[in-house]
Structure 1
Amino acid sequence: MAGVLLSAAVACVLLAGTVTASSSSSPRVFTVGGEERGWRQPAPGEETYNHWATKNRFHVGDFLRDLTASRLFQPPVFDPPSTAASFPAASPMASRLRLGQPSPNPGPGPSPSPSPGEGKIEEGEGRKPEPRREVTDLGGGSEVVHIPRFMARERAWELFEHLDKRIPWTRPTIRVFGRSVVQPRDTCYVADKGLTDLRYSGHQPHAHSWDDFPVLKDILKEVHEALPGSHFNSLLLNRYKGCSDYVSWHADDEPLYGPTPEIASVTFGCEREFLLRKKPANTQSQAAGESGETARKRLKVSAPQQHSFLLKHGSLLVMKGYTQRDWQHAVPKRARAASTRINLTFRHVLP
């Protein structure tokens, strides 16, 4: 025991000689081997861990899962106490077993009679657990549902590669404030036959058939399963190829979608920020032509309400109710969004 304590003391002395506190004014900066290390806010244009992880397809959960599967790390198994010597030792996976299940290796003696319902498998127990849903009530009959882990990570990457290479992407010219500009993202449109043509900003995209892209039909089926009662018959795909690609403030309030459209958005690839803001109200005072100073004060008091969602790889976001009537949404430029994002927006066009 004394030898162990002596070794620990020697190690502490050696460590103290290698790692010393820095004289920097920041309490979070330290010195290792004579080189200053520490934490700080990222500079403009620097890549953060989240974007690096997305670009390189790294996730700490996958790392820990592989580490456990390789048997390099196993949870400790403790010997049962002497008072429970007549019972079998618990296996490392005992925490995953339901308490009501009978033991596969019962101990000696008569087996106790199970209580009502004990040992039975509940209905739907073998199904995949429901992904976590985050519901945001915007008020006034508007609602947003966010499912961060809608799709398994590896399957989402396979779909990303397929969509990136197989979809006939185009970057059309559109009309914005009377000027012709190139749309700052790639796009493609898929819809049922016989629907009203989609038209926005002076552009009418060609409607491809679902039969041309079976993988999109598979994704549509998964979205319908996650949103019971929904019925989407059209799909607008967008591809943001870097930090300069974006979509400005707008609302999908075209008459062909009806007064309360439901729009489901699936994200693949680079995570991007998705913003929602309340549409500015047309006040009677502005119509009456009040003074400029009074109008500015009123606008300052009634600043639009805003929400932000970080849409990650494999996530699903749904806008419901009067969201398109009362709110606008955007995907702004972000210097750190250096890789490609593909976005699928499912909609229902009225017959």
Structure 2
Amino acid sequence: MSVHLQSSLFDQEAEVGTGPLSGLRRTDLGHGAWIDVLPQWLRGADTLFETLVREVDWRAEQRVMYERVVAVPRLLAFFGRRAPLPHPALEAARTALGTHYAAELGEPFTTAGLCFYRDGRDGVAWHGDTIGRASTEDTMVAILSLGAPRHLALRPRRPGPAPVRRPLGHGDLIVMGGSCQRTWEHAIPKTARAVGPRISVQFRTDGVR
């Protein structure tokens, strides 16, 4: 698969690895929801991006919408509890996040879902990760962004708090916690602007999709 990524001037390292999580900054969204954000948590993120583009078995999916079968506007891959992740840095990231959030989360992150946004025509509509336990329980979803920045948009399901937009890419980390999946929705809006490709890696616990 051939894609062109304009590398970040701040991420020229070939060696891939995570930094400390002490720089996480939490924002209270209201309705029991919060997000933690840490820019450029992963060193060598552009190197990892190129590796995942080449080596992951990306799949295209279809869905029924308005009585028509349409292509899902992104490529996907999923790694369950027992599946080895496609790069040691992702294993290390998942372990580090599980350790950092152990007291709040009470269980480890066990799965990883990958989304490949090839350009601005790819995106994901408004939704919450409410398949499984997250429909009734607080949980966390940790997202590691690789490649060109795209905006992650969040909006409350009930009127009140203001919507939030965060540009994420080149190794940025965002963690959505508390009631975020039930009381807020998130999306990667499509855009007509010229944007580069992006991969998001979503770490979740058992029984949450």
TM range (shorter): 0.7 to 0.9
Give 1:180's aligned residue. Answer: 69
- After superposition, the Cα gap between the structure-2 partners of 1:333 and 1:137, relative to the gap in structure 1 and judged at 3 Å, is same
CA-CA distance at 1:239 after TM superposition: 0.2
Instruction: Provide the C-alpha distance between the structure 2 equivalents of 1:263 and 1:332, rounded to a whole number of angstroms.
Output: 19
CA-CA distance at 1:253 after TM superposition: 1.0
Give 1:241's aligned residue. Answer: 118
Match of 1:134 among 20, 25, 31: 25
Instruction: Provide the C-alpha distance between the structure 1 equivalents of 2:181 and 2:202, rounded to a whole number of angstroms.
Output: 14
How do 1:69-218 residues align onto structure 2 when only pairs under 5 Å count?
A: 132-152=23-43, 155-193=44-82, 209-210=83-84, 214-218=88-92
- After superposition, the Cα gap between the structure-2 partners of 1:60 and 1:161, relative to the gap in structure 1 and judged at 3 Å, is closer
Match of 2:7 among 57, 61, 82: 57
Residue deviations 1:267-288, cap 9 Å, x none?
A: 00010001100114xxxxxxxx
SS at structure 2 position matched to 1:210: coil
**Bigger radius of gyration among the two:** 1
Structure 1 runs (4+) deviating above 6 angstroms are none
CA-CA distance at 1:232 after TM superposition: 0.8
CA-CA distance at 1:304 after TM superposition: 6.9
Match of 1:306 among 163, 188, 207: 163
- After superposition, the Cα gap between the structure-2 partners of 1:331 and 1:212, relative to the gap in structure 1 and judged at 3 Å, is closer
Instruction: Provide the C-alpha distance between the structure 2 equivalents of 1:143 and 1:58, rounded to a whole number of angstroms.
Output: 28
* Equivalent residues of 2:169, 2:198 under 8 A apart: no
SS at structure 2 position matched to 1:252: coil
How do 1:227-306 residues align onto structure 2 when only pairs under 5 Å count?
A: 227-229=101-103, 231-257=108-134, 259-280=137-158, 302=159, 305-306=162-163
Residue deviations 1:165-210, cap 9 Å, x none?
A: 00000111123344321100000010115xxxxxxxxxxxxxxx22
Residue deviations 1:260-319, cap 9 Å, x none?
A: 120000000010001100114xxxxxxxxxxxxxxxxxxxxx577311111131010000
How do 1:16-35 residues align onto structure 2 when only pairs under 5 Å count?
A: none
Give 1:220's aligned residue. Answer: 94
Structure 1: runs of 5 or more not aligned: 1-53, 63-127, 194-208, 281-301
Instruction: Provide the C-alpha distance between the structure 1 equivalents of 2:171 and 2:10, rounded to a whole number of angstroms.
Output: 16
Q: Which amino acid aligns with 1:181?
A: V
Structure 2: runs of 5 or more not aligned: 13-18
Instruction: Provide the C-alpha distance between the structure 2 equivalents of 1:274 and 1:168, rounded to a whole number of angstroms.
Output: 25
* Equivalent residues of 1:273, 1:332 under 8 A apart: yes
CA-CA distance at 1:157 after TM superposition: 1.7
* Equivalent residues of 2:95, 2:109 under 8 A apart: no
Instruction: Provide the C-alpha distance between the structure 2 equivalents of 1:317 and 1:129, rounded to a whole number of angstroms.
Output: 14
Of all paired residues, the percent bearing the same amino acid is 28
- After superposition, the Cα gap between the structure-2 partners of 1:269 and 1:131, relative to the gap in structure 1 and judged at 3 Å, is farther
Give 2:15's aligned residue. Answer: none
- After superposition, the Cα gap between the structure-2 partners of 1:259 and 1:178, relative to the gap in structure 1 and judged at 3 Å, is farther
Q: Which amino acid aligns with 1:159?
A: L
